[in-house]
Amino acid sequence: MIVPIYNGAAYLENTIQSLLNQPYKNIELILVDDGSQDNSYQICQKFYEQDDRVLLIHQENCGICAARNTGLTYATGEFVSFIDQDDQIDDKIYVHLVNRIGQADLVVGSKKMQLINKKHMILTNVNYIYDEKLLSNQKEITYALFNLDHQMTFFHLWNCLYRKKIIDDYQLTFDERFRYGQEDTLFNFNYVSRCQSIQLIPEIVYMYNQRELTSTSLKNNPLAIEDFIRFIDTIRHLEWDEEAYFYYKKYSYTYFLRHGLNVYTQFGMKTNHQKEMLQAIHQVLSKDPQQKARIMESSSFYRHYFYLTSVLMKKQRYCTLNQLIYGTAFVKKVLNRVTS
C-alpha cells in the first residue's frame, strides 16, 4: 500500500489506522511524506515506531506522481495498491481484492464517490457497482472499461490491486510532468494495455472524497489546461491494437471534455482562464475532426454530451455541468431541462 502524503494531518490518523486494522495482515504500508509543512510527518513517525509493517519515507516536495514513484521503488510485495491520504476504505478491502485476483493481472473493486464542500457537507453521494466478471481478453477489457455507453467504467487507482511484476517488467511509472490531474488515468491506460485479464468485483472497497477547493484544486490554474493537452497528446501516441485504438481514443477525447468542463464549471475559473479552457477544448477537437464525427455517430451518449455542451456554452449555464461525471442518465435529465 502506497500512500503519498502532503499536509494531510487532519485525515492521516484515521486513514493509517484503518489500513493497519485490516483483517488481511500481510501488508506493507509505505508512507511517502512529500515535504509536508504541517505535522503529517510526526503522525506518520508515530505509526512507524509502533508497527514494523510501516515504512516511512521523507522527501522534498515534488508532487504526488513523484511520491508514488518513490513508493514503487521501495515496494517489495507481489501486489501494489495506491491510497489517498484523506479517503475511506472498506474494512475488508484487501480481503476482497487479494482473494479475488486469482490469475488476473488486475482486480477492480466497486466504489463510492462523494463531493464534499468546505463545511464538510456531502453534496453528492454515488455508488458505482461492477457486476462480478472476469474480463479474459483485450476486447472484453476495452469494451467494459473504456466504452462509456456501457456504464460509468472509468476506474481510478484507489479501488484497484496491481501486480508489481507487470509494473516492474514494463517499467511503469507516474508521469511527473502531471501536477494537476490525469496522472492516474494515464498510468491505468499504460497498465491495462499490458493486461491479459481483469477481475471486476461488486463489493465497494473504497470511498473517494472529492473536496471543494483542496490543495490539489485546479481553480484558476492555467497549468491544469496544459495537463489536459498533454494527456490527450500522450494517449494519442500510445500503441494499441487496431480494434482497441478507437475505443481508447474515443474515451480519451470524451474524458478530456467531461473532466475539463467539470473543473471549469465547479471551481469558477477567472475570465481569462475560462477562455483558455474553452480554447484548449477547441484545440483538442480541431486536431482530429474526423474523430469527433466518429464519436458522435457511434453513440447516443456523445450526441447528448456534445449537444448539451453547446447549449450550456451558449446560455452560460454552467452550474450543474460538473455533475455529468455521474452518468448518462443525468446528462439526459439536464438536456431535457435546458432545452425545454
Q: Which residues of 124-139 are buried (b: 16+ CB within 10 A; e: fewer)?
A: eeeebebeeeebeebe
CATH number of 2-211, picked from 3.40.50.300, 3.30.230.10, 3.40.47.10, 3.90.550.10: 3.90.550.10
Q: Which of 186-200, 218-232, 294-308 has the highest mean pLDDT?
A: 186-200
CB atoms within 10 A of CB 208: 17
Helix (H) or strand (E) holding 209: strand 198-211
- For residues 300 and 290, what is the distance between their CA atoms, to the nearest angstrom? 17
- For residues 64 and 221, what is the distance between their CA atoms, to the nearest angstrom? 17
pLDDT of residue 91: 85
3-state secondary structure of 59: strand
Residue type at 268?
G
Beta bridge partners of 113: 126, 208
Backbone angles phi, psi at 299, to 5 degrees: -155, 135
Q: Which has the minimum average pLDDT: 136-150, 175-189, 213-227? A: 213-227
Strand order of the sheet with strand 2-5? 2-5, 29-34, 54-59
pLDDT single digits (tens) 211-224 = 654 434 444 455 56
pLDDT of residue 245: 65
* Range 175-199 average pLDDT: 85
| pLDDT band of 313, cuts 50, 70, 90 | very low
- For residues 97 and 10, what is the distance between their CA atoms, to the nearest angstrom? 28
Residue 154 has pLDDT above 90, yes or no: no
- For residues 258 and 325, what is the distance between their CA atoms, to the nearest angstrom? 7
Q: Which residues contact 33 (CB under 8 A, 6 or more apart)?
A: 5, 6, 40, 41, 44, 56, 57, 58, 59
pLDDT single digits (tens) 275-303 = 555 555 555 555 555 555 544 444 444 44
Helix residue ranges per DSSP H, the chain: 9-20, 40-50, 64-74, 93-101, 138-146, 164-169, 183-192, 222-236, 242-266, 271-286, 289-298, 300-315, 328-339
Contact predicate 227/157, CB 8 Å: no
User: The whole model's pTM is what?
Assistant: 0.74
Would you list the domain boundaries of the chain? 2-211, 222-339
Q: Which residues of 55-89 are buried (b: 16+ CB within 10 A; e: fewer)?
A: bbbbeeebbbbbbbbbbbeebeeebbbbbbbbbbb
Contact predicate 128/152, CB 8 Å: yes
Give the DSSP letter string of 247-262.
Answer: HHHHHHHHHHHHHHHH
Tracing cell 481478453 back to the chain, one arrives at 137
